[in-house]
């Protein structure tokens, strides 16, 4: 059995997959934000719960916002800042009594969607998370591309391409710079843009609901968002030229993105035509957890479980 855990900014989800990839069970709970010890405890409790429900032990893979540094062995580049500088894989392994694999959550989404999701069968897939934070992951031939510095696909901390005067220098980012793609495309920053343009203080889902009801200010905020997303994706397409882009995270549920982005991308992509499909994650907000479960290949399960005792 393969167990995946998706450690998000607002929720943690665990799912157990059978050897044939079918879902056995899944459970979720709120993320104990700003509390590292409680985060460890929440993950352990979820793993124990799915194992109790299935009556089986499993390997554990965890999708995280950020990456594990190959130099220090600590978490880096995480929008869940209470994880930074922590040996999360070792602490989870000690708490669970078995080895644990970590990978960036956008990589996990891309793995899942390339395996049996919206981009099934495609060779090169760029997976995007548009949620509390913004992430990106590249899968080539079914495997995540990690890179020498463990930052392959990390588009969100590049500057927004072709910024207008009103977009400079951009909002401050937790990484220490200004104007990162994340500061324009995350859910909280979509809401901030609406507020700074004269709207009131609401969250991104409420803004989307207002746009669907026809409110001009909300519609204008989404139009700005779509143009910025097209510019940001064009930067990836110009370099990688993937077979598909798959969107996940809460904002991926905004259906107008899939109608409007195909018309916007040709303005920015350096090509005489743009046929790159922008697809909604088939597995929704569970893509990350399914991809995390697949971090252990089937042939590795016996060895992992033997270590678990």
Q: Is the pLDDT assigned to residue 308 strictly greater than 60?
A: no
Q: Kindly state the DSSP code that residue 83 receives in the 8-state scheme.
A: G
Q: What CATH class does 2-108+286-308 carry? A: alpha beta
Asked if 210 and 244 count as a contact pair (C-beta separation under 8 A), the reply is no
Cis peptide before 56 (omega within 30 of 0): no
Q: Which CATH superfamily is domain 121-281 in?
A: ATPase, nucleotide binding domain (3.30.420.40)
Q: Is 48 helix (H, G, I), strand (E, B) or coil?
A: helix
Percentages (nearest 5) of helix, strand, coil residues in the chain? 45, 20, 35
Using the CB atoms, write b or e for 259-283: b if 16+ within 10 Å.
ebbeebbeebbeeeebebebbbbbb
What is the rounded distance in angstroms from the CA atom of residue 61 to the CA atom of residue 263?
38
What is the rounded distance in angstroms from the CA atom of residue 186 to the CA atom of residue 194?
13
Tally of residues, the chain: 309
pTM of the predicted protein model: 0.89
* Bridge partner residues of 144 (DSSP): 139
Q: CA nearest 189: which of 161, 181, 209, 206?
A: 181
Per-residue pLDDT tens over the stretch 34-64: 999 999 999 999 999 999 999 999 999 999 9
Element (H, E) at 126: strand 124-130
Per-residue pLDDT tens over the stretch 145-191: 999 998 999 999 999 999 999 999 999 998 899 999 999 999 999 99
What pLDDT was estimated at residue 307?
59
What pLDDT was estimated at residue 239?
97
Asked if 167 and 146 count as a contact pair (C-beta separation under 8 A), the reply is no
Burial classification of residue 256, based on how many CB atoms lie within 10 Å of its CB (0-12 exposed, 13-18 middle, 19 or more buried): middle
Q: Kindly state the DSSP code that residue 131 receives in the 8-state scheme.
A: S
CA distances from 141 to 110, 118, 124, 288 (A): 11, 15, 7, 18
Terminal Cα-to-Cα distance of the chain (whole angstroms): 15
* Bridge partner residues of 16 (DSSP): 3, 25
What is the rounded distance in angstroms from the CA atom of residue 223 to the CA atom of residue 61?
37
- All CATH 3.30.420.40 domain ranges of the chain, comma separated, are 2-108+286-308, 121-281
Question: How do strand 2-7 and strand 11-17 relate by DSSP bridges?
Answer: antiparallel
Confidence category of residue 95, pLDDT binned at 50, 70, 90: very high
Per-residue pLDDT tens over the stretch 103-118: 999 999 999 999 999 9
What is the rounded distance in angstroms from the CA atom of residue 7 to the CA atom of residue 174?
19
Asked if 303 and 40 count as a contact pair (C-beta separation under 8 A), the reply is no
């Amino acid at each position: 059995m393969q167990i995946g855990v998706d450690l998000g900014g607002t929720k943690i989800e665990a799912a157990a997959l059978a050897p044939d990839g079918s879902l056995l069970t899944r459970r979720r709970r709120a993320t104990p934000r700003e509390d590292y010890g409680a985060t460890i405890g929440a993950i352990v409790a979820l793993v124990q719960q799915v194992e109790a429900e299935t009556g089986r032990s499993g390997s554990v893979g965890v999708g995280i916002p950020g990456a594990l540094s190959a130099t220090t062995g600590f978490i880096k580049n995480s929008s869940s800042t209470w994880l930074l500088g922590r040996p999360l894989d070792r602490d989870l392994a000690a708490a669970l009594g078995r080895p644990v694999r970590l990978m960036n959550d956008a990589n996990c989404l891309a793995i899942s969607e390339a395996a049996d999701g919206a981009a099934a069968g495609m060779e090169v897939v760029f997976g995007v998370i548009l949620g509390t934070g913004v992430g990106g992951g590249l899968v080539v031939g079914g495997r995540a591309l990690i890179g020498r510095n463990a930052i392959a696909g990390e588009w969100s901390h590049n500057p927004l391409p072709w910024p207008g005067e009103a977009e400079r220098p951009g909002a401050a980012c937790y990484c220490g710079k200004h104007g990162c793609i994340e500061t324009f495309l995350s859910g909280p920053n979509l809401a901030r843009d609406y507020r700074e343009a004269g709207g009131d203080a609401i969250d991104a889902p409420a803004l989307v609901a207002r746009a669907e009801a026809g409110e001009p200010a909300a519609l204008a905020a989404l139009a700005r968002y779509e143009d910025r997303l097209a510019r940001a994706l064009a930067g990836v397409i110009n370099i990688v030229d993937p077979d598909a882009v798959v969107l996940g995270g809460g904002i991926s549920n905004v259906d107008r993105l899939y109608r409007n982005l195909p018309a916007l991308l040709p303005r920015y992509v350096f090509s005489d035509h743009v046929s790159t499909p922008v697809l909604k994650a088939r597995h929704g907000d569970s893509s990350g957890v399914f991809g995390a479960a697949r971090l252990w290949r089937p042939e590795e399960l016996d060895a992992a479980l033997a270590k678990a005792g």
